[in-house]
Structure 1
């Protein structure tokens, strides 16, 4: 099997040729297990480790992640293949690593589509806005997937609420139990395209993966009577979808602190940004300044105050991180 089903295209080939190291072999990272990578070469799937040279020279964000294209040094015998280079990433889904250290963590690379998965009965617009900002910043196209519609008494209301915060983003309400709505998602999984499923634990990502793959590749814990299940995906893994495309299942994301996501926040809140452009003062904080178009929209009922609060929270979070980093200039503001 060639690498084309795994996303190899002209852009990847151009990056590969620019590397100009013919003794190495191209591969795509399918999964990572505690420092050991499952990679796909043109001939086989095999394990690999990061070379000492790359380990020493790369930043944390420059080490391989699931979805990366890498250059392998293949062993002559039964030894371990070594990742010598990570090819340039077209897109990267990034967050601030958990903990006090100000360090980026790349969760996945070279995604075309990001399915933002959430259980319909447990809709959280504020969490969705945060995920949308991170996805827009990544360069992938977001698609909102509301799961467990079979457990929801009302579907239309939450869909409308979601569309009000995910402006211009497709929204699909599905059930992995009945299969309703799942086929609509297959349209995003064309050959050479990679989609990731992102969301918190228990949102139904692995059940959705099973439907898309038409097999029980991932282990899914038994659901309780209230519709909650223990998400058992323990690592990020790429799967080849029958009919073309790849899907990346991921563990539940409990914490998503944004990393350098100024443009992503602006894209996720383009309604607020558009209103802010009409404020009398360019540095308007949308608090009590005269001529604030954002506050006027809230007073008129055309902008929810919760949405402005969410926007200000994310902008403030990014600004606080920037102030703590030495040698960085001020961020732009709306």
Structure 2
């Protein structure tokens, strides 16, 4: 595989020399005829993978990944199948193994039953893209950052349409940065720019170094495709106008795709997401450590932050040092994560019971028919 390293490294291969991860090494050894490749597109009918910056090739997925006409027990869950950004082993036009991920961006899938949807894998940085128009929503940005937290990737808030905002209100950018002060204090970088201006995009250079992988997330009309086109230097991604009422646009990006950039980094553009449900694996306290720090100063350990004397959280709200909307969003996200965590626990317990029952059934059948 040595002669292929240059091509693989151009699309994010993490090893300059021999593979050091024991799980990766074991899978490579178990499939000596297979070639490593990265998933660049995911479709219902299969995957497109690449071994370098050249165009990818279509490959078949393993039988237990394929979506049957009806529900079929034993099928590999969606979050355990390959997604854009994953590294796989391919042999004779088929994926034969999925290499372990170092990061995964997930959300709770829409619907009544608990499921996870994998957005992208093996990502170094998530660009949370939000327009400085009617699309600007600090609370939604906090929700995106909650999903990124714990994924293994870093986060950068990219505020687009800075030129338009400043033209209408010279203080617009300063006001937006002030509204995100709590978010920035948690360690997420915030960058305001004009997504059509290549010079402005120089502010993103630290996260676009060779071998790095970035995914863009944000609502439709936020400027993700415009940002992608400017980074590429060509109009590759379709862009569209936004509605005047709420600055939302149509889904100009219809599927996730990994695109090599001239800088040597790889970028994944994603369709706009209208629903951002937590998976139940998030740590809300980590994203709102400022509020948690205040809670530790309350007189009572079990303070509900309502009418208790000596409540540091209420005092900060009354003094204006803690944003009331940020605190309300903290409570909302905390309850959502707790609810999702309960569904996740129930699902895991159900799977465990099914496994135990399956083993018991096989044992009875073995005893009945004398199988050993």
Fold conserved between structures, TM > 0.5: yes
Root mean square deviation, CA, Å: 2.4
Partner residue of 1:233 out of 245, 253, 270? 253
Partner residue of 2:106 out of 67, 77, 94? 94
Partner residue of 1:244 out of 264, 273, 288? 264
Match of 1:69 in 2: 87
Match of 1:171 in 2: 190
CA contact (8 A) 1:179 1:211 kept: yes
> How do residues 44-123 of structure 1 correspond to structure 2 at under 5 angstroms?
45-55=56-66, 58-74=76-92, 81-122=93-134, 123=136
81-90 or 9-18, which moves further after superposition? 9-18
- Secondary structure at the residue paired with 2:37? strand
> How do residues 200-239 of structure 1 correspond to structure 2 at under 5 angstroms?
200-222=219-241, 229-239=249-259
Query: Structure 2 stretches of 5 or more lacking a match?
Result: 1-5, 67-73, 350-372
Aligned-partner Cα distance in 2 for 1:238–1:103: 24
User: 1:24/1:307 Cα in 2 relative to 1: closer, same or farther (>3 Å)?
Assistant: same
Partner residue of 2:327 out of 278, 288, 308? 308
User: 1:249/1:303 Cα in 2 relative to 1: closer, same or farther (>3 Å)?
Assistant: same
User: 1:300/1:63 Cα in 2 relative to 1: closer, same or farther (>3 Å)?
Assistant: same
Report the TM-score, using the length of structure 1 for normalisation: 0.88
CA contact (8 A) 2:107 2:147 kept: yes
Instruction: Indicate yes or no: 2:173 matched with 1:159.
Output: no
CA contact (8 A) 2:130 2:160 kept: yes
1:156-192 deviation line (CA, Å, top 9, x unaligned): 2112212333323211111123445212112211111
190-199 or 9-18, which moves further after superposition? 9-18
Partner residue of 1:138 out of 151, 160, 163? 151
CA contact (8 A) 1:16 1:26 kept: no
Partner residue of 2:276 out of 251, 256, 270? 256
Deviation at 1:287, TM superposition (A): 2.5
Structure with the larger helix share: 2
User: 1:44/1:231 Cα in 2 relative to 1: closer, same or farther (>3 Å)?
Assistant: closer
- Secondary structure at the residue paired with 2:133? helix
Larger Rg: 2
CA contact (8 A) 1:94 1:106 kept: yes
1:235-294 deviation line (CA, Å, top 9, x unaligned): 11111010211111010011000112432x222211112112223333433223333322
CA contact (8 A) 2:221 2:240 kept: no
Aligned-partner Cα distance in 2 for 1:327–1:58: 15
Report the TM-score, using the length of structure 2 for normalisation: 0.80
- Secondary structure at the residue paired with 1:8? coil
Aligned-partner Cα distance in 2 for 1:104–1:157: 35
Partner residue of 2:10 out of 5, 22, 28? 5
User: 1:180/1:229 Cα in 2 relative to 1: closer, same or farther (>3 Å)?
Assistant: farther
Aligned-partner Cα distance in 2 for 1:312–1:228: 27
User: 1:261/1:326 Cα in 2 relative to 1: closer, same or farther (>3 Å)?
Assistant: closer
Match of 2:298 in 1: 279
- Secondary structure at the residue paired with 1:187? helix
Deviation at 1:99, TM superposition (A): 1.0
Query: Structure 1 stretches of 5 or more lacking a match?
Result: 75-80, 330-334
Partner residue of 1:127 out of 129, 137, 140? 140
Aligned-partner Cα distance in 1 for 2:242–2:138: 24
Aligned-partner Cα distance in 1 for 2:39–2:60: 11
